[in-house]
Amino acid sequence: MDEASAATGGHPLDADLVTMAAAVREGKISAVALIDAALQRVAQLDPDLHAFCTLTADTARADARRIDARLAAGDVVGPLAGIPVAIKDLVCTKGVLTTFGSRLYADHVPDEDDVVVERLKAAGAIVIGKTNTSEFGYGAVGHNPLFATTRNPWNTELTPGGSSAGSAVAVATGMVPLAIGSDGGGSVRVPAALCGIFGIKPSWGRVPVYPGCRDERYPGISSWESLEHIGPLTRTAADAALAMSVLAGPTPRDRHSIPAESNDWSISTAASLRGARLAVSVDLGHATVDAEVRAATQTAAGRLAQALGSKLDTAHPGIGPTQPMFETLVALDTDRQGLRAMAAAKRVKLGGWLGHLVDHPWTADDFTRAIVERKRIVNAVWRFMENHDFLLTPTTGAAAFAINVDGPDEIDGSPVARTAWLAFSAIANLTGLPAASVPIGFTRDGRPIGLQIMGRHLDDRGVLALSAVVESLYPMSMPKALMTV
């Protein structure tokens, strides 16, 4: 048995992030051994899954040696020292190829790190590579025109969801214990649900975004500013809380970032949630939902209410479908002129949802109506949340479907638009409320199902705590059939 396995009683990457980080700090495993184990697992699994689009093996090993030298010297290291992490290819990494999943940026190498990458490195985390995404994040799937399609680790003929597709797969298969995703309309929570892991979209401004979609130097990605969030994908809520202790906090580089209320991100006990006011809606009053997803959501909500001694209300804010308005806001936030100019100069045709948004003849009145509608939704939701601490819904209206399409064309026997399965996620982006996806089991044919937990204004800690209670009711496993140790 090698050093890495001996330190954890098994493969080191099968441990949770909290345990893994403590093992490095306590000298039970070296950073070099951990990074080597991660890169070996990537080499074994990723040829079939395509979670990574760029690997940084040499720099990762060099960083690991520096961490081990500091530990040997008795230096104080950060809380994530030696931990292998993966970064979504929409998030800038200094000196490392960052393509945004687009041929327009196929050779792009940023000259600075995104704030979240900077903070991870300061905490001692080691970036092992960039993970695959849909083009510019326009689509909750894992395909783009530049790289091979990312595949679901539970069934490689199915999509892992997206747009943080590669990040979710890297965590689900234990290639890394922590990956960074971005979420403009569900792009952290959706792949977390379809891959059977935990993902949280923090409150608006909780985790800064820069340069990413906040920098005018990047036509096409200087977009989604009123919707985009950065969040961690992990195996557990406790792991995400550890990540948040590093990622959260203000910076002048993001004018929307908010002050840190506390540096303590430890998970509250279930006892602190006794009597929490829970609302559940399996369809928000309008969504088409797969029967198995519907039943699993209702069952999970009931079990959670029983565990907390809470009353469970069947209720929702009554806001109606949001997709048309959401798409209009995305178009408003998109540098469509810049994208058209780049595409013309490079002779690249933009397709799919992105191409539609860029070419559609939007008017100022379209954008004004969408902004007014968003205000109505925000007001309806805060009034609803005055009477409820948490809203529980499915994360997605359907479990994983075939790769290389943008959504199922049928749910529960009914024909639907290809975006219908995404009816639940955009509310948290439109309002800025914290929301997470936590696994609650599988369909009969083995596809993971996620429960979305949306909390009140700035109650990220409450969402994490409630997610941990759900985890205690639904212990999950990784798709170990894909792993070799």
Stated as kind and residue range, the H or E segment containing 33 is helix 31-49
Backbone torsions φ then ψ of 234, nearest 5 degrees:
-145, 180
Separation between Cα atoms, residue 362 and residue 344, nearest integer Å: 20
- CA of 307: how far to CAs of 233, 235, 282, 302, in Å? 26, 22, 20, 9
Separation between Cα atoms, residue 457 and residue 431, nearest integer Å: 9
| 3-class state of residue 244 by DSSP | helix
Separation between Cα atoms, residue 177 and residue 27, nearest integer Å: 18
Contacts for 298 with CB less than 8 Å, ≥ 6 apart: 280, 282
Residues classed as catalytic: 88, 163, 187
**CA 147 to chain centroid:** 20
Contact in structure between 198 and 467 (CB atoms under 8 Å): yes
Separation between Cα atoms, residue 37 and residue 51, nearest integer Å: 16
Of 195, 221, 200, residue with least CA distance to 265: 200
Gyration radius of the chain over CA positions? 21
Beta bridge partners of 314: 280
Backbone torsions φ then ψ of 66, nearest 5 degrees:
-65, -40
